Amino acid sequence: MAIPALALVVLAAASMTLLTMADSSLKQDRATKQSIATDLVADAGLSAAFFDLTSGGTGNLGSEQAPIAYDGASYFVQCANDGTGVYTFRSEAQSGKVRRRLELVLAKSNGALGRWGAFGESSLAVSGQVLLDSYDSSAGSYASQLGAAGVNGAAQHNGDIGSNQGLMLSDDATIFGKAVPGPGSSVSLTGNASVSGSTNPAQKPVKLPPISVPSFPDQGPLVASNMVLGSGSYHYSSLQIASGSTLTIAGPAQVVLGACALEAGAQLIVDPSAGPVEVFLLGSLTMDSGSQMFPSTMNPSDFVFSIVGDNLADPSIVFDFDAAGPTSDTKIWGSVYAPNAHLQIDSNFELFGSMVSKELNLGGTAKLHFDEALMNQAASPSDNWTRLAWRRLP
């Protein structure tokens, strides 16, 4: 049967319409797939930038002029740090004519040492004429920043203290910063004790990670007098630094000490110029009048004094930061980390850095100056990271 010419025209038109619709659907499908693929490339860029940052890089990868090739597409990432531990990553990817921009905002907390001037996991009491404030070692010495916050005798207002329990402040204790008790706990202020910042409780407790101590053969006792310990790995049953003399430990080095005693005027100096220096104390500590511990850079972030000993379980272990009493005048530039210990300060001991322990009592005329530079130490995967935002940008 012959098909009328008009019917042929109609059928041809219908066929063209179906072909056009199919072609349009295929194009739309390809565009959707390309859009999704470009999103994935932009996301891969964010992951690569985070890995770069926590591996010692800047988090900046490629550039708009020189993007990084990736599976037929390309991307570049820009990373910015606002100085408080908040990092903003912006990743831009392109595949063909499709362009996608993603933003990731992360907050870094490098543990208690990068957060607190003083922290006592189970308890923290501050009395006497103790002063806590802060300064920024990357901006100069503490002395050069005195009065920066408009208060005589103090520098900045970030000398925060905290605990997982309540906080007890008495006498003339002065905190230029926040006093943060544990969840559901509060701050007890008696006498003339004062806090310049908030006293709101923490949302969650702070967990102090254990110290991982390297294992080396015990080399017996070491008596040091104006001595340099070269880079390497050491374990001494005890260290005694003679009165008025120095022991310099050159990095990279790991030093494990069964006990440590600094006689009057003695100095323990770590030199990180060629690599980091790690010091681990298993037993007792004695710091006599005028003795000091510090890095050669005078930057507290270059020295962590890790106290492994547990004097709560073993009372024979003694940590005496002020053996000469009220006139000890002992000083440390660095972070003291003692997650198992009770630390007691009763003199004019002075710390530039951070002090964290299981239990902490601060009294006398002690001064603790938190180094704000600790908050901006190089990022690493072991830091605590919190995602603040992830979004697609126009």
CATH number, residue 70: 3.30.1300
- Note whether 12 and 141 are same-domain residues: no
Burial 13-33 (b: 16+ CB within 10 A, else e): eeeeeeeeeeeeeeeeeeeee
Do 100 and 233 lie in one domain? The reply is: no
Q: Domain limits at 125? A: 112-376
25-34: long-range pairs with CB below 8 Å, 24+: 31/98, 34/95, 34/96, 34/98
In whole angstroms, what is the distance from residue 309 CA to residue 61 CA? 44
221 lies in the same domain as 307: yes
Q: Is the domain of 204 the same as that of 217?
A: yes
Same domain, 279 and 312: yes
Q: pTM here? A: 0.73
Q: Say if residue 139 is in the same domain as residue 206.
A: yes
Pair (185, 212) in one structural domain? yes
Is the domain of 303 the same as that of 326?
A: yes
The pLDDT profile of the chain, 394 residues, written as one tens digit per residue, is: 444 443 434 344 444 444 444 445 545 566 677 788 888 999 999 999 998 888 778 899 999 999 999 988 999 999 998 765 688 999 999 998 899 999 998 877 655 667 899 999 999 999 999 999 999 999 999 999 988 666 667 888 899 999 999 999 999 999 999 999 999 999 999 999 999 999 999 988 988 889 999 999 999 999 999 999 999 999 999 999 999 999 999 999 999 999 999 999 999 999 999 999 999 999 999 999 999 999 999 999 999 999 999 999 999 999 999 988 887 899 999 999 999 999 999 889 999 999 999 999 999 999 999 999 988 765 555 566 778 888 889 8
In angstroms, the Cα distances linking 184 to 111, 125, 126, 302, 361 are: 21, 18, 20, 35, 21
CB 341 within 8 A of CB 50: no
CA distance 283 to 362: 21
227 and 272 share one domain: yes
How many CB atoms sit inside 10 A of residue 142's CB? 20
Q: Does 155 share its domain with 198? A: yes
Total domains, the chain: 2
Q: Are residues 253 and 161 in the same domain?
A: yes
